[in-house]
Structure 1
Amino acid sequence: MSAETDLIKLYSGRILALAADMPRTERLENPTATAKKRAPLCGSTVTVDVFVKDGVISDYGQDVKACALGQAAAAVVGANVVGLTPQQVQEGRDALLAMLKSDGPVPPAPFDALEVLQPAKDYKNRHASIMLAFEATLDALQNQSATA
């Protein structure tokens, strides 16, 4: 099988559907923190706004300029991050990274839909884009903690 055929398979219908139906794409008017992350290799960027109340994400907005893989990951993060603590977001990020880099299991709920990205583990040049939504969210949460 050629590399081009493998890449076409990587962009499955499920990944494209997630990317096309990304939730929470409006930036927040009054976030408690904002962060922007960029994948240097491909130039993908994700900007995240969080509103944290009582230690829990109560609102979330994102501006995603990434490939379909990065968009799919951002769609799953955006659909599930409200109501979570920073620790739960960190656990989701760590599980996704382990799945991609060290053949770890699919992240547990609420991030189990990231299973769709398992084929991307063989495409190391795509990992940074896939991780952007988590990385930006965690940066925003850390910024929020530093200013609280």
Structure 2
Amino acid sequence: MSAETDMIKLYSTRILALASEIPHTTRLTDPDGTARRRSPLCGSTVTVDVKVADGRIAAYGQDVKACALGQAAASVVGQAIVGLDRATVQRGRDELLAMLKDAGPVPTSPFDGLAVLEPARDYKNRHASIMLTFDATLAALDEAHVLT
């Protein structure tokens, strides 16, 4: 497969659609936790705000400045995140990382939509951008003192 064909596959129509449909793009005015994560390799950044009730994410806001792959990941995570506890978010992060780095299976529900990013396995320089939303969310939960 040529490099051009690989890139076309990597930036599929579904990935581009997800990138244009990121939910929860309004920052929270009174969050319990906020975190910003940046990929030093590409400069992508994600800032996440969380409001927590009974150990679960009650409200979520994110500001995503990333490539289409990072945006697609933020879209899938954003669609599923409200109502989840820290352990579920951590599991989703771990499963996504295993899919990308170790050719593991696609993440389980509610993050199974991340399967669209399987073609990114071969592009290690994109992995950090793809992981930013999970990393920022977990850091924001840590700031809010939400334990696993």
TM over 0.5: yes
Q: In the alignment, which residue of structure 2 is the partner of 1:39?
A: 39
Q: In the alignment, which residue of structure 2 is the partner of 1:17?
A: 17
* 1:120 lines up with 2:120 in the alignment: yes
Q: In the alignment, which residue of structure 1 is the partner of 2:80?
A: 80
- Shift of the alpha carbon at 1:53? 0.8
TM-score by length of 1: 0.96
Structure 1 unaligned regions, length at least 5: none
* 1:4 lines up with 2:4 in the alignment: yes
TM-score by length of 2: 0.96
Q: In the alignment, which residue of structure 2 is the partner of 1:102?
A: 102
- Shift of the alpha carbon at 1:143? 1.0
Q: How does 1:65-76 map to 2 (within 5 A)?
A: 65-76=65-76
Structure 2 unaligned regions, length at least 5: none
Which shows bigger deviation, 2-11 or 89-98? Answer: 2-11
Query: Structure 2 CA distance, aligned partners of 1:125 and 1:3?
Result: 15
Q: In the alignment, which residue of structure 2 is the partner of 1:29?
A: 29
Query: Structure 1 CA distance, aligned partners of 2:104 and 2:52?
Result: 30
Q: Which amino acid aligns with 1:41?
A: L
CA RMSD of aligned residues (A): 0.9
- Shift of the alpha carbon at 1:122? 0.4
Runs of 4+ in 1 over 6 A off after TM superposition: none
- Shift of the alpha carbon at 1:4? 2.7
Query: Structure 2 CA distance, aligned partners of 1:82 and 1:92?
Result: 14
Q: Which amino acid aligns with 1:72?
A: A
For residue 145 of structure 2, give the secondary structure of its aligned residue in structure 1.
helix
Q: Which amino acid aligns with 1:73?
A: A
Query: Structure 2 CA distance, aligned partners of 1:85 and 1:22?
Result: 21
* 1:131 lines up with 2:135 in the alignment: no
Query: Structure 2 CA distance, aligned partners of 1:123 and 1:54?
Result: 38
Query: Structure 2 CA distance, aligned partners of 1:11 and 1:41?
Result: 19
1:77-98 CA deviation, whole Å, 9 max, x = no partner? 1110100000000000000000
Query: Structure 2 CA distance, aligned partners of 1:73 and 1:132?
Result: 9
1:30-70 CA deviation, whole Å, 9 max, x = no partner? 11010000000000000000000110000000000000000
